[in-house]
Chains A and B, each alone.
Chain A
Amino acid sequence: MLVIKELQVSFGELIVLKGINLELKKGKVLAVVGESGAGKTTLGLSIMGLSPGKCAGQILFKGKDILALSEEERRLIRGKEIAMVFQNVEDALHPLYPVVDQVMEALLIHGIKDKKAAQRKAMDLLKAFGLSEERTHFFPHQLSGGEKQRVLLAMALANEPEVLILDEPTASLDAITRAEIIKLLKKVIRDKMVLLITHDLSVAAKLAHRVAVLYGGRVVESGATQNIFTFPRHPYTRGLLRSYPNMTTVKDLQGIPGPPYKPVDGCPFHPRCTQRVELCFREVPELKSLGDRYLACHRGGIIPLLEIKALSKSFNGVRAVREVELTLYEGETLALVGESGSGKTTLALTIMGLLPPDKGEIWLEGQKVLLRDKGFYQRVQMIFQNPKESLSHRMNVLELVKEPLDVQGWGSEEEKLERVRKVLEEVELPADDFFLRKYPHELSGGEAQRVAIARALVLDPKLLIADEPTSALDASIQAKILKLLLSLQEKRGLAMLFITHDIALARKVSDRLAVMKDGCIVEEGPASEVITHPKHPYTRTLLRLAADLKEEISISSMDA
Chain B
Amino acid sequence: MENNVDMKNKVVCKVARYNNVVNYIVTFFIILTLNFFLPRLMPGDPLQAIYGDDALIAMTPELKAELIQRFALDKPLGEQFVAYLRALFRGDLGYSYYYHAQVVSVVLGYLPWTLLLSGLALVLSTLTGFILGVEAGFRRGQGLDKLLLTTLMLVNGFPDFFVGILFLLLFSVVWGLFPLGGSLTPYASLKGFDLMLDILHHLALPLLTLVVVRCVNIFLLTRSSMVTTLGAGFILTARAKGCKDIRVRYHHAGRHSLLPVVTAAGLHLTHLITGTLFVEVVFSYPGLGSLLYNALMVRDYPVIQGVLLILTAAVLIINLMLDLLYLKVDPRINYAR
Contacts and interface: CB of A to CB of B under 8 A. Distances in A.
Contact of A48 (B232, B240, B256, B329): B240
A165 to B, nearest CB: 9
Contacts of A96: 255-256, 329-331
Given A89-B233, A142-B335, A94 B256 contact: yes
B324 interface: no
Contact of B242 (A80, A89, A92): A80
Contacts of A94: 234, 237-238, 252, 255-256
Nearest to B252: A94
Nearest to B239: A50
B244 interface: yes
A133 interface: no
Interface in A79-137: 79-80, 83-84, 86, 89-96, 105-106, 109-110
Contacts of A95: 234, 256, 331-332
B243 interface: yes
Interface in A376-424: none
B236 interface: yes
Given A86-B237, A139-B331, A110 B242 contact: yes
B56 to A, nearest CB: 60
Given A86-B233, A93-B237, A78 B331 contact: no
Nearest to A50: B239
A516 interface: no
Contacts of B237: 86, 92-94, 152, 155
Among A48, A95, A110, A156: residue with most chain B CB under 10 A: A95
Nearest to A142: B335
A61 to B, nearest CB: 15
B233 A92 contact: yes
A229 B214 CA distance: 64
A105 to B, nearest CB: 6
B100 interface: no
A96 B236 CA distance: 16
A426 to B, nearest CB: 46
A91 B233 contact: yes
A105 B232 CA distance: 18
A310 interface: no
Nearest to B6: A142
A299 interface: no
B90 interface: no
Interface in B1-44: none
Contacts, number: 71
> Chain A: interface residue count, which band?
20 to 34
Contacts of A189: none
Interface string A38-62: 0000000000101000000000000
Interface string B237-274: 11111111000000010011000000000000000000
B233 A79 contact: no
Interface string B301-337: 0000000000000000000000000000111100100
14 contacts: A78-B241, A79-B241, A84-B240, A91-B232, A92-B233, A92-B234, A93-B237, A94-B252, A95-B256, A96-B256, A105-B243, A106-B241, A139-B331, A155-B237
Given A92-B233, A139-B332, A141-B335, A86 B240 contact: yes
Contacts of A156: 240
Interface string B279-310: 00000000000000000000000000000000
A22 interface: no
A77 interface: yes
A355 interface: no
Contacts of A80: 242
A438 interface: no
A51 B80 CA distance: 73
Contacts of B236: 50, 86, 92
A48 B236 CA distance: 11
Contacts of A91: 232-234
A83 B331 CA distance: 28
Nearest to A77: B242
A44 B239 CA distance: 13
A168 to B, nearest CB: 12
In this complex, which of B233, B242, B252, B255 has the most chain A Cβ atoms within 10 angstroms of its Cβ?
B242
Name which of A77, A84, A105 has the most chain B CB atoms within 10 A of its CB: A105
A50 B240 contact: yes
A109 B255 contact: no
A105 B241 contact: yes
A83 B243 CA distance: 12
A155 B241 CA distance: 8
B184 to A, nearest CB: 44
A75 interface: yes
B207 to A, nearest CB: 32
